[in-house]
Amino acid sequence: MSHVSEPASARVSVPLLQQWKAEGRRIVMVTAYDAATARIADPVVDVILVGDSVGNVCLGFDNTLPVSMAMMNHHVEAVARTKPRALLVADMPYLSFHLGVEETLRNAGGFLQRGAAAVKLEGGAKRADRVRALVDCEIPVMGHLGLTPQSVNVMGGFKVQGRAADAAVQLLEDALRLEEAGCFALVLEGIPSEVAARMTETLRIPTIGIGAGPRCSGQVLVFHDVLGLVQGHKAKFVRTYVDGYGVLQTALSRWAEDVRGGSFPGPEESYRLPEAAREAVSAWQAPAPE
């Protein structure tokens, strides 16, 4: 059987990320939840994560716990249809990898069948068996340590993790266990920058920080946070580069004014009939009511 594939350099791959780690090249990762945001992000970033943060950002939930596999499949499929150059990583939602290895493999494998190139799951050394099982089935795994949002109830809220000496050491040990289990990269969220730096210099695999300081192998933020599309509380680690909410609302307000004032649509937004058809429409008479 013959096949046509893209050039090896066309898409970002797991081995390429690990090469960049060795070379010291910083990795840029962003979330995207649909085709529109993926098309905006893809020319700019190296990794697109379809995160379960879609629950907070797009679906109106208070946290990520209500996000289901059906919801995630829907969003992964939407992003995958754009055929991104960036490495496409799908987030394993709550309960998708907690009920046994078989269920974990089924859910993660479904992501790959829908177009993802890798999956991400939260948790430390206790997830090592899941990671090994996934890697044994040729499913690349990105780990996630520190402030893991699916553990919000255990943590008592969204709080920085690893500030105490024993907790910081536990994070370092968890990182080693996940690397040994086969993770190709780790997301480090909400941990002291010194802990993240120590991990990054110790591990062979890349670290992607979000609230973990500047010395990680790369950084990730939510698309909507970077572009200022969400109002309300902003995490300390977020840097917003444009008031997207204000810009879009202003544009929408201008359109609403044009509609109410009768200037939209104008001739340039309207279709016209050919001359002969216009004459026929002008000559047409509605039948008299019986």
CA distances to 7, 8, 81, 239, 278 from 4, rounded to whole Å, are: 9, 12, 18, 41, 51
b/e map of 181-190 (b: 16 or more CB within 10 Å)? bbbbbbbbbb
Between CA 117 and CA 87 the distance in angstroms is 6
Tokens of 285: 């008479």
SS3 210: strand
The number of C-alpha atoms within 13 Å of 209 and in the hemisphere containing its C-beta is 21
Of the residues 6, 102, 189, 257, only one is catalytic, namely 189
- Residue 271 CB neighbours (<10 A): 5
- Closest residue by Cα to residue 38 from 98, 116, 99: 116
Q: How many residues does the chain have?
A: 290
Kindly write down the DSSP assignment for every residue of 98-151, as one continuous string: SS-HHHHHHHHHHHHHTT-SEEEEEBSGGGHHHHHHHHHTT--EEEEEES-GGG
- Residue 201 CB neighbours (<10 A): 9
Between CA 145 and CA 189 the distance in angstroms is 6
Cα–Cα–Cα angle for 201, 46, 241, rounded to 5 degrees: 95
Residue 179: active-site member: no
- Residues with catalytic annotation? 189
